[in-house]
Structure formats: C-alpha cells, structure tokens
Amino acid sequence: MSAVLKPVEARLEPLDTSRLHQVLQIEQRAYAHPWSRGNFLDALKSGYHARVLLAGEEVLGYYVAMQGVDEVHLLNITVSPDVQRQGWCRAMLDALALWSRGQDAQWLWLEVRASNRRAMAIYETHGYRRIGLRKAYYPAGHGQREDAVVMSLRLCATDHNHQP
C-alpha cells in the first residue's frame, strides 16, 4: 500500500526579523559558507525584496533580491534541505520574476558557485543564461576561493526591430 501525499499549500510573505531564526537554521544546514545574521539584517535594513516561503508556519525556503535600475539581482535563494527537489525553488523563481516584471525590470541577475551544477541546471531550465565568470568570488574554506558563474534572465519581450 503506497502512501498518498497530501498537497502542500504554500504562500510567500515578506521576510522580517520574526522569521530570521528559522531562516538562519536553514541557511546553516544548506551551505558550508552561510549568510550571517548580519547579512540578513543588512539586507532587510536596506529594503531589499526578501520573501519567505511558508507552509503553515514552517519555513520551506526564502529569497533576497536587490532592485537596481532596470534589473533585479538575486542575492540568495534557498530551499530547506528537508523539502528540496519538490519544485519550491522553481516556485520562488517564478514569483521573483513576476515581481521583477512588476518593477519594470528588464533583467534578473545572479551568481552561483561554479561547483553547484544542480542550481545551474534549475536556473537554465528557467531560461537563465551563463554570461561570465567572477574569479575567486566565493569563500571555499582553507583560505581558498571558488569562482562564481554569472547568469541572467531577460524579462521583457525582445523588440526585433531594435538591437541593443
């Protein structure tokens, strides 16, 4: 007899300090070099677009993005290790793209560790393209650094009459 999985209803809410403890627990479990409490507090203080994905009161994931001129830069997107491979990252990427379009952004940008092939595959299936490399961008332990792959997603419809 196979178990019937109950659909999970999830919602996005603004990330604030009341959920920061849960977010930090996930961050520390998900990464060898996690963001610190100070990183999150700085992002919130700066007014960055930060959302937490909730099922009931359980944090499934979160993202932090910085709006620029005609673009949005995804700084952190994380799904709890307990619920990875269930489509939550894709759902958050969709929500971020929708919000970004609403801000009249033309591009979404991000960096991802060169070793994080799984994340790159998710971004590529979402339409992101590899643009370049930032050498020694991320800490990698033991005094080492790891390259970041720069990726972007064009948000606005391409005007075929005008070339950039």
Give me 29's structure tokens.
């479990």
What percentage of residues in the chain have a pLDDT greater than 90?
81
pLDDT at 2: 45
Band (pLDDT 50/70/90 cuts) for residue 163 is very low
Exposure class string for 97-134: b at 16+ Cβ within 10 A, else e: bebbeeeebebbbbbbbbeeeebbebbeebebeeeeee
pLDDT at 7: 63
Model pLDDT for residues 106-147, shown as the tens digit of each residue: 999 999 999 999 999 999 999 999 999 999 988 888 889 999
What average pLDDT does this structure show over 56-82? 96
The answer, yes or no, to whether residue 91 has pLDDT greater than 60, is: yes
Q: Which residues are catalytic?
A: 111, 123
For 67, residues 6+ apart whose C-beta sits below 8 A from its C-beta are 48, 49, 73, 100, 103, 105
Model pLDDT for residues 11-46, shown as the tens digit of each residue: 999 999 999 999 999 999 999 889 999 999 999 999
pLDDT at 157: 58
Q: How far is C-alpha 16 from the chain's CA centre?
A: 16
Give me 38's structure tokens.
């100070």
Q: Cβ(86)–Cβ(122) under 8 Å?
A: no
pLDDT at 159: 47
What is the edge-to-edge ordering of all strands in the sheet holding 107-113? Answer: 11-14, 49-55, 58-67, 71-79, 107-113, 144-154, 129-141
**Quick check: pTM over 0.75?**
yes
